[in-house]
Amino acid sequence: MAQPTHGWQSPARAWREEDLRGLPEDGNRYEIVDGSLHVTPPAEDDHHELADDIRMALRQAALEGWRVIREIGVRVPGGNLIPDVTVLRPGAPRGRRWAEPADVALVVEVESPSSRRHDRFTKPALYAEAGIPAYWRVERGDFGPVVHRYELAKGDHYRLLGTVGPDDPVTVTEPWPLTLDPAVWPR
């Protein structure tokens, strides 16, 4: 049997949160879905810039006590995911690597070619199952970013609230009232 060349190997059982501690800090995003390890390569600079601008827009409009965090882990049924942006409720514990779903009001995923299916299908299903009330999926279109806004419906899936493009800023209510204007974000 060939020895692993990356310095670590898969456990003989399903992956667990504690197994993530032994993985390298190499820019990859390591997430667990139903006991399987999902590795996403580092995103390009445009992805990070867009996520930072979304985070800043949310932070500038945030109500007192709310926190807007980049790439904090979120515990979900059967695993751990790392959204691009997470909004934590007032009173959520500080100094944590993994947030509990009850502390999360909104998760935002910025699509990349390497994460498109994961962001459209796998992650929303797990966030909904965890009971996270709102999910935004952001695509980079030809004319600028497009935000697909979802809310939790019947406790186990998301319902589309609407789509906001660069030519149609709108006032949203999740997680608090703010004007969402993708035109000011990078293409």
Looking at residue 149, which CATH number applies to its domain?
Answer: 3.90.1570.10
Residue 5 lies in a domain: no
Give me the amino acid identity at 186. Answer: P
For position 174, what pLDDT does the model report? Answer: 92
Residue 14 lies in a domain: no
Q: In this model, does residue 187 exceed pLDDT 90?
A: no
Residue 1 lies in a domain: no
151, two tokens = 């809310």
Mean pLDDT of the residues in the chain: 91
Residue 21 lies in a domain: no
Residue 8 lies in a domain: no
Residue 2 lies in a domain: no
Assign 6 a pLDDT band (cuts: 50, 70, 90): low
- Show the domain range for 62: 28-184
Residue 168 lies in a domain: yes
Residue 128 lies in a domain: yes
Q: For residue 68, which of 91, 49, 87, 51 has the smallest C-alpha distance?
A: 87
Long-range contacts of the stretch 149-154 (C-beta < 8 A, 24+): 149/174, 150/124, 152/128
Assign 4 a pLDDT band (cuts: 50, 70, 90): low
Query: CA dist 151 to 12, 105, 126, 160, Å?
Result: 38, 10, 13, 7
Q: In this model, does residue 2 exceed pLDDT 80?
A: no
The count of domains in the chain is 1
